[in-house]
Every structure is written in structure tokens, then in C-alpha cells.
Structure 1
């Protein structure tokens, strides 16, 4: 018996990896985060698989599910939205499994920021404009931000920012970032990236709150900020120059 943690991707059922789909098809029990995971993914499971929506379960109840499956020798899939490496509450579950001696595997998924970038048709890094992407959030009820990771610290770099779990504080984001990026800095909000109900709002940073007002986004939206989102006058990289020595391409 093994617990297979799978990143389900940002939403669209066909954005799960081939490995993730194969593991879903073979599982006896699928534990899925029902409030964030597209339930069309459950169609990859066999008809005999038991499917449990974990939206209302606490960590102790999850541990009970893992223990029961372990005792019965069942193959388990734990389905999280996006990618496991980011804001997935994965580490605390792995700590439980390691204490119990239950084996597990991790299968990555398409992260939300990648789906959002595809939705707006932009590369998040451009030569000599932005060569770094900061994935961050604001302090919330579930966990506080470390003091060294305040938004202003990242903003000083003027790297492209992707803010998760913060759409309800959009006015605060614009106010805190404007002194560093400028009020005219390109920004975007992508709601439910890759879902059928996906919505995109783009505007200068100072006007982003106003542009989003009619939509009333409350969750499942990613905020992107940075010059790379709107820059068209940038220097090409040397990678495809005729006189460039291509060692690895």
C-alpha cells in the first residue's frame, strides 16, 4: 500500500500529468480537496474506487483515512489542486505518514501561476526586464508570513510577482506595491485559470482594484504584477542570434 500525492493542476481536467492520471485509474481510495479540485478528475478513477471529499476533514480525520487504508492494503491517491510544492499543506501530511511508517510518492502538477501566464499569453521573465519570479502570499488565518518575507522586501527587487490566496486584499496589494513598481506597472488578475469559468482582468496597478470591482472575485484568483507582463520593447536574448554558439540546443 502506498499513498500517492498528486498535483491535480490548476483546474482543467486534461492538465493533469499522464502519471497522475494513471495513478488515479489504479487507486482504491481517492481523497480529494473538493473545494479546489475539478471533480471531473474523478472520472479517471475506476467505478469501484471510493472517493472522499476532504474539504471538511481535519488532519486527525485524514490520518484515520490513511490508517484504515493501510490496514486494508488499499492504494490511495491524495489529490491536491495545482502543484504539491506550493501552499498545499503537504508537509504536515507527510509528517503524519512518516510517523506511521506508511510509504508515499509525490507526483507534481501544473502550478496555477503557469496556467495564469498561459491565460494572459505572457512570459513572466523577459531579458533585462525581469529574470526572476516571486511566488508569495499575504499573512492569513491559516498561516502568518515570516517577518523577512513581507511584500515590500520582494517588491524592492521589481521581479515579477505572483500572489496567491490574496485576492480579497487587492487594494492593499496595489497600495503596498505602487511605490516600488509604479502606478502604471502592468498587472493582471486571473480567476480560476484553465477552468471553463476563467476570467481575466488586466490593468495598470493603480487601476486594478477598480477594474476588478464589478467581478467580485473572492477566491481562486491569482494576482500577477510586473513590467514583463506588458513590455514589448525589450532586447532579445542572444540565444537565437546567428553568431551565438549553441552548445546545448
Structure 2
């Protein structure tokens, strides 16, 4: 047993597929003496790389205080302690709530980012969250439920920007999502995609609909947990017949790696 206090690593496990953990995150799992993972959200398959003698605990039935105490205790007995969190630790994770007790106890810690379910959902659906001349802004948010939203952050207020919305933790509130989008001026026919368990092998489901139909479609698909809701003017662009192209790769665009080969006035870019 080491006499030094070990380091607690908050590691983003990614969206579900164990292979989407980062190389650094996997390396920490491989040498961890103790791992506390969010069993309700993180696939147990992520434990496949843990050493045989690693102490593994599931946090799904723990309170924050119990989790903090467990991490502090394990840091007293081993050099590498991993808190394995779904997606990225800094996005809808109880990161700061867990960090503060460790700071108070003098336990060193570091954070390793992870792939967010927002990115994994867009990848699963083969959608781009941004497109030239359509939207260059992505908002990560949630609809108000038991957790209130700060002033100015209602979904209707954010949706008024008519950019891409990645709506977390809101699959059971799709009726409210739809009403907030309509209040912000979105068309009932505006496309919406819901991805359930993005990247989870054998469990991923993708439902495409509109603001008006997505709730009923998700009910039919029996989707009520662990889903990302994406509303965006970019959805469906794969099938568009006209598309504004990126200026960076435009033949008329000069940058430090390539000089323009075609005069700008000779190119016409079409918008969707």
C-alpha cells in the first residue's frame, strides 16, 4: 500500500460504445487501482480493460456524499483512482459537486474529456450540426423539468436563435419541447431527430420526425430514456440538391497552405 495520496481521474467514458473512450481514458482504466463508474449510464463493458485486482464500484445507488467518500478512501490506498462518467465529465455531470470535497481533503485530481452523446448522435444519424450559410451555432441545453432553468435560458428563448439545438435529458418532455419550439417560431414541419443510446452496440435507435410528430413517433418506438433530441435547420442536408460549400476548400479561396486556382467571380455557391 502506498503512503502517498493517489490521484482521482474524472474520465469521460463517451456516449456508450466502449471503444469511444479516449486512448488516455482507456490507459487510466488499464492501470487503475479503483474505479467508480456510473452504472446506469456507462456500459459495464468499459470495465473490460480494468486490472483483475482493481476495486470496481457502481455509483448508481450512491449519494454524492457517498461517492466523494469512496473516492477519497480509495485515493488513500492506490495511486490511480478513476471516476468513469458518461459522455464528457464537464457536461451535465456532477463534476464540481464531486471535486469540491476532494479539494477540501487535499486529494489531487485531473479531468479527461470524453465524446458527448450530442456528437455521437449526430454521427449515428449522419448529420452535421453546422453548415455554411445555414447555421454556425450549436446550443447544448435541456428543457425545464424538475431542474429549473436560469433566467433567459428557457428552450423557447434559446430556440429563437433558430440554430442547432442539442437537447439533453428531455426525452420524457417531448410535448414541452415541441411547444417551446413552436413558441419560438419553428414550423410544425421543422425536422427533429431523436437518437436513443447513441453508439451502444445493438441498442441504438434513430427516430426522425418533425416538431409536430416526434413525440408520437418516439412513443411508438418505446423510447423514454437515454436519448438525445436534435432540432436543427441542418437536418436532412444529406438529401439536399443544393448546398453552400465551405469557403476553406473553395478553389477561389487563398490561405497559407494553398493559393486560389479559380477567380472568385467565376464560382457561384448555392444555398439550400
**Does the TM-score normalized on the shorter chain lie above 0.5?**
yes
**Aligned counterparts of 1:103 and 1:216: Cα–Cα separation in 2:** 43
Tell whether 2:51 aligns with 1:42.
no
- TM-score, scaled to structure 1: 0.96
Matched with 1:6 is: 11
Answering whether residue 175 of structure 2 is matched by residue 177 of structure 1, we say no
Question: Number of residue pairs matched?
Answer: 248
1:105-144 map, 5 Å: 105-141=110-146, 143-144=147-148
Q: By how many angstroms is 1:74 displaced?
A: 4.0
Q: Which residue of 1 aligns with 2:191?
A: 186
| Alignment partners' CA distance in 2, 1:87 and 1:53 | 18
Show the counterpart of 1:24. 29
1:207 aligns with one of 213, 218, 221: 213
Contact 1:168 1:218 in 2 (8 A): yes
Q: 70, 73, 77: which is aligned to 1:72? A: 77
Q: 2: CA distance between counterparts of 1:230 and 1:186?
A: 8
* Larger helix proportion of the pair: 1
Q: Does the 8 Å contact 1:127/1:235 carry over to 2?
A: yes
Q: Which of 232, 246, 251 matches 1:237?
A: 246
Q: Which runs of 4+ in 1 moved over 3 A?
A: none
Q: Distance in 1 between matches of 2:219 and 2:61?
A: 30
Contact 1:187/1:203 (8 A) holds in 2: yes
Alpha-carbon displacement from aligned partner over 1:83-111 (angstroms, at most 9, x marks no partner): 11200111111111111110001000110
SS of 1:3's partner is: strand
Q: Distance in 1 between matches of 2:132 and 2:72?
A: 50
RMSD: 1.3
Aligned to 1:104: 109
Q: Deviations over 1:17-44 (max 9, x none)?
A: 0000000011110000000001100011
Q: Which has the higher contact order (CA 8 A, sep 6+)?
A: 1
In the alignment, does 2:51 pair up with 1:51?
A: no
CA–CA separation in structure 2 for the residues paired with 1:248 and 1:108: 30
Give the match's secondary structure for 2:230: strand
TM, length-normalised to structure 2: 0.88
Could you tell me whether the CA contact under 8 Å between 1:128 and 1:234 is conserved in 2? no
Which protein is bigger by CA-based radius of gyration? 2
Structure 1: which 5+ residue stretches go unaligned? none
2:171 and 2:224 in contact (8 A); partners too: yes
